[in-house]
Amino acid sequence: MEWVVGDIRDPDAGSRALVGIDAVVHLVALVGVGQSMYQIAEYTSVNNLGTAVLLQVLSTHPVECLVVASSMSIYGEGLYCYIEGRIVTAKDRTLEQLKMRDWEIRDARGRPLIPAPTREDKAPVLASVYALSKFDQERQCLMVGRAYGIPAVALRFFNTFGPNQSLSNPYTGVLSNFASRVLNGQSPLISKMVCRSGIL
């Protein structure tokens, strides 16, 4: 195995890294919804432009397979269930609601909606620069892969973990919660959501 260090936005580094390579797993991205809203140019440069540069290199150094790491953030708020059991896409919380620190998603009568599992085919709701950049990454890879005959797939990851990962990162909060409970002799808590149409 050879380790090549470089910036994804550098086509020369990309060309060097792709010599003799059969497949590419594209995991490069700046992550974080909040940070993306005040580091707009940097997120767009690394995530969007970086992917474009990689694909430009792949257009002259084709591989047998391309996998790109996308993100759950593309789904936005996810799906919700009315008390009556109907599944709906939630509307954005109003600014007034957020100022009152009311985080609930509510129906037109003000009743809280119940979170429901989100299907893979849910329409994107891009609520941050990060979400937009991840959607752009996956669309670029799928589109260019199709054009150049490179089989490509985008994986919309939710919670991932691995060595050297910070447990203070908001994306890994659920993992630190699970680990804390297990280390204290308790089972991890996973709630089930019930709609009139059945358990989700």
Query: Count of alpha carbons within 13 Å of 180, Cβ hemisphere only?
Result: 9
pLDDT digits (tens, 9 = 90+) for 115-173: 888 888 899 999 999 999 999 999 999 999 999 999 999 999 887 777 766 666 666 66
pLDDT at 109 (0 to 100): 84
The pLDDT score that the predictor gives to residue 176 is 73
What values do phi and psi take at 119, rounded to 5? -75, 150
pLDDT at 199: 44
* Enclosing domain of residue 12: 1-76+124-158
Residue 100 lies in a domain: no
| Total number of domains in the chain | 1
Query: What is the H or E stretch that residue 69 is in?
Result: strand 65-71
106, part of any domain: no
Helix H or strand E encompassing 10: none
Domain-located, residue 169: no
Express each pLDDT in 159-170 by its tens digit: 777 776 666 666
179 occurs within a structural domain: no
- pTM across the whole model: 0.82
Name the pLDDT band for 106 (thresholds 50, 70, 90). Answer: confident
